[in-house]
């Protein structure tokens, strides 16, 4: 749509991106919605946009690694204090909550604890900090509760899962309440992948070795 090549990681952000970032401080829903749409098209989509990541980190409190996309850029699906790694695939209808409604006050209504309504100056919610690792898949309608602080690298969260506890690297988690049903690979393969930290490379650096990402490694480990 726009005559700009999408930004590659590590290169200078177009000056238009800086302008959009500055204008985003105008807290109006329609303006912010348009600016997000504009910068996504300008910088080649959510997979590549540097400015969009800067906007979410600064204005929405969500850090998103390069090449992660889909649901992590949906407003209010991932609460402030969330850090998402690189190369993650996150369904648009999944949610991660970093705070619960207060239960020991007279009312649970946000009028009384959230400053957005203008009735209180301070946000009384206690937020946790959620870290989602690299190369994580989170399925449709999955819910991550505030009791979770870490989802390990390479983990898979199945559709509809309600996750209430931390998830180890490369675990496959399903169900309500969630449970680990298997690991994607054997312990030996998992250790090699974690040690390699391949996700720290850019997509351009990985392309010469793309065939290694297209063949099965092993059959994993089933939890009995």
Point out the residues that are catalytic.
Answer: 93
Nearest alpha-carbon partner for 112 in 95, 24, 104: 104
Show the 3-state SS of 80-139: CCEEECCCCEECCCCEECCCCCCCCCCCCCHHHCCHHHCCCCCCCCCCCCEEECCCCEEC
Q: Which phi and psi angles does 219 have, rounded to 5°?
A: -90, 0
Per the listing, tokens 């298997």 go with 182
Nearest alpha-carbon partner for 138 in 172, 169, 187: 172
Beginning with the edge strand found earlier in the chain, give each strand of the sheet holding 150-151 in spatial order.
Answer: 62-64, 82-84, 130-132, 150-151
The separation between the first and the last C-alpha atoms of the chain, rounded to the nearest angstrom, is: 52
């Amino acid at each position: 749509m726009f005559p700009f090549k999408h930004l590659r990681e590590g290169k200078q952000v177009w000056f238009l991106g800086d302008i959009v970032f500055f204008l985003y401080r105008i807290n109006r829903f329609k303006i912010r919605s348009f600016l997000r749409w504009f910068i996504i098209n300008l910088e080649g989509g959510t997979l590549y946009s540097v400015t969009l990541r800067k906007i979410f980190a600064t204005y929405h409190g969500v850090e998103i690694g390069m090449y992660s996309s889909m649901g992590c850029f949906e407003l209010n699906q991932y609460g402030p204090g969330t850090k998402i790694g690189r190369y993650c695939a996150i369904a648009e209808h999944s949610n991660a909550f970093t705070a619960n409604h207060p239960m020991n006050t007279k009312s649970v209504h946000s009028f009384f604890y959230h400053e957005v309504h203008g009735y209180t100056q301070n946000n009384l919610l206690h937020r946790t900090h959620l870290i989602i690792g690299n190369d994580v898949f989170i399925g449709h309608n999955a819910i991550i509760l505030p009791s979770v602080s870490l989802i390990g690298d390479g983990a898979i969260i199945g559709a509809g899962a309600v996750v209430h506890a931390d998830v180890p690297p490369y675990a496959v988690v399903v169900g309500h309440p969630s449970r680990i049903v298997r690991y994607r690979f054997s312990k030996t393969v998992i250790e090699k992948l974690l040690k390699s930290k391949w996700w720290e490379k850019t997509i351009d650096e990985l392309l010469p070795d793309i065939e290694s990402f297209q063949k099965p490694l092993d059959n994993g480990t089933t939890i009995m």
